[in-house]
Amino acid sequence: SKWYGKSTNDVYVKKVRKVLNSVIDKVSILGFVPYDRVPYIYNLADILVVPSQWEEPAGRVVIEGQVSRVALIISDAGGMKEYTNSQAAIIIKRGPSFVENLKKSIIRLIQDEEYRKELSENGFACAQSYTSECYYKDIMSIMQCEES
């Protein structure tokens, strides 16, 4: 959110920077990014990892990543898994093996370009169900059913 990043030296950011120190030349900590710049950021990436543990009702980030043709790894938390499927994203079950499975999935996508591209294209196709036109058609069909 725009409220995050007011202090780029808070305890959390310091902890993240320390963990990332060995790969800091390959990682950017961006903080808040204005929404109109988000597509640009997605297009810089090959892989989008959303390891949420909280029951997010509807993580828009899944659709944004898929529309941007970014290979997607998500947790099974909340509504995120409702916007994709196992052909369009790697969906990791939360639990004791979560971190290890996340690590293996990231490594697989880094090493297997064909699989990464397959997920990206399947994700893009999946996201086409969430266009403005699709929402409009769904709403109109609901309204027409209620008129009958």
3-class DSSP string for the chain: CCCCCCCCCCHHHHHHHHHHHHHHHHCCCCCCCCHHHHHHHHCCCCEEEECCCCCCCCCHHHHHHHHCCCEEEEECCCCHHHHCCCCCCEEECCCCCHHHHHHHHHHHHHHCHHHHHHHHHHHHHHHHHHCHHHHHHHHHHHHHHHHC
pLDDT recorded at residue 73 = 97
Which range has highest mean pLDDT (13-27, 97-111, 133-147)? 97-111
Q: What is the pLDDT of residues 99-141, one digit of tens each?
A: 999 999 999 999 999 999 999 999 999 999 988 899 899 899 8
pLDDT recorded at residue 76 = 94
Q: What is the pLDDT of residues 35-50, one digit of tens each?
A: 899 889 999 999 999 9
